[in-house]
């Protein structure tokens, strides 16, 4: 069964690259371009994994992460945070909020894909 990945980022070009990479890796991909969209999409799409950008206007990545974790139906959804600030505090905050892993921008495409695979295989 094809695993489902939801990409949440407000940077169009990054979304394009992530979409390409995930599709190439054989996942079913859905896209949300901001935090608000992400919260609706995540309920319908029920992804196995969310690639979640932290720095977004209005509803940011942390908020999205927290909402997902608050939702019992989304218990099994894995979350990888994408952070551009690369500060320890941000990473720690994301992990504390229930993210499964994090990737720092700019990322190596291979490592990103490997990380997605690793997280999805965890159970």
Partner 1 sequence: MMLQGGIILFVSFAYIGILFAIAHYSDKRADAGRSVISNPYIYSLSLAVYCTAWTFYGSVGHAASTGIGFLPIYLGPTLMAALWYLVMRKIIRISKLHHITSIADFISSRYGKSSSLAGLVTIIAVVGIIPYISLQLEAVSTSFAVMWEHSEIAATVPRNNMTIFSDTAFYVALLLAMFAIIFGTRHLDTTERHEGLVAAIGFESIVKLLAFLVVGFYITYGIFNGFGDIFTRASQVPELQTLFTMENAGTYTDWTWLMFLSMMAIMFLPRQFQMTVVENVNEKHLDKAIWMLPLYLLLINIFVLPIALGGRLLFPSGVVDADTFVLTIPISQGQEELALLVFLGGLSAATGMVIVATVSLSTMVSNELIMPALLHFGPLRLSKSRDLGGVLLTIRRSTIIIVLLLGYVYFRATGTSYTLVSIGLISFAAVAQFAPSIFGGIYWKTGNHLGAITGLSAGFVMWTYTLFLPSLAESGYLSPSFIASGPFGIELLKPYALLGLSGLNPITHSLFWSMLVNVGGYMILSLVGRQTIIEHSQAAQFVDIYKQAEDNDIRLWRSTSSVPVIRSILEQFLSPARVDEALNQYAQKRNLDWSKDDVADTELINYAERLLAGSVGSASARVLIASAVKEEPVSMDEMMYMLDETSKVIAYSRELEQKSRELELATSELRAANEQLKQVDRLKDDFISTVTHELRTPLTSIRAFSEILYDNPDLDSAQRSKFMNIILKENERLTRLINNVLDLSKIESGKMEWHLTTLDLKEVIEESVATVEQLIKEENITLDLDLSEPTSLTVSDRDRITQVLLNLLSNAIKFCDRENGKITVRLGEVDEQLSVSVLDNGPGIKLENQELIFDKFRQVGDTLTDKPQGTGLGLPICRQIITHFGGDLWVESRPGNGSKFIFTLPVVAPNEDGSDNEPDYTPPIFANGQTQKEQG
66 binds partner 1 (CB under 8 A): no
The yes or no reply on residue 105 touching partner 1 (CB under 8 A) is: yes
What is the x/- site pattern for partner 1, positions 23-62, by CB under 8 A?
A: -x--------xx--------------------x-x-----
Burial (CB < 10 A; 0-12, 13-18, 19+), residue 59, is middle
Please compute Rg for the chain using Cα positions. 13
d(CA 39, CA 68): 8
Interaction between residue 85 and partner 1 (CB under 8 A)? yes
Residue 96 CA to residue 121 CA, distance in Å, equals 21
106 binds partner 1 (CB under 8 A): yes
Q: Under rule CB under 8 A, how many of the chain's residues touch partner 1?
A: 25
Q: Is 86 in the site for partner 1 (CB under 8 A)?
A: yes
> Hey, what are 120's tokens?
């999805």
Question: What are the beta bridge partners of residue 82?
Answer: 53, 103
Stretch touching partner 1 by CB under 8 A, among 5-13, 43-51, 61-69, 73-81: 5-13
Report phi then psi at 117, rounded to 5: -60, -45
Residue 72 beta carbon to partner 1: minimum distance, rounded to whole angstroms: 31
Binding residues for partner 1, rule: CB under 8 A, are: 10-14, 16-18, 20-21, 24, 33-34, 55, 57, 84-87, 105-110
């Amino acid at each position: 069964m094809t695993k489902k990945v939801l990409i949440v980022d407000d940077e169009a070009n990054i979304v394009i690259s992530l979409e390409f990479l995930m599709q190439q890796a054989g996942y079913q991909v859905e896209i949300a371009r901001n935090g608000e969209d992400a919260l609706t999409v995540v309920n319908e799409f029920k992804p196995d994994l969310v690639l979640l950008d932290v720095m977004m206007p209005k509803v940011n990545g942390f908020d999205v992460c927290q909402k997902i974790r608050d939702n019992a139906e989304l218990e099994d959804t894995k979350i990888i945070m994408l952070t551009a600030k690369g500060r320890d505090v941000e990473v720690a905050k994301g992990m504390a909020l229930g993210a499964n892993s994090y990737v720092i921008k700019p990322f190596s495409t291979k490592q990103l894909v490997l990380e997605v695979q690793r997280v999805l295989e965890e159970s």
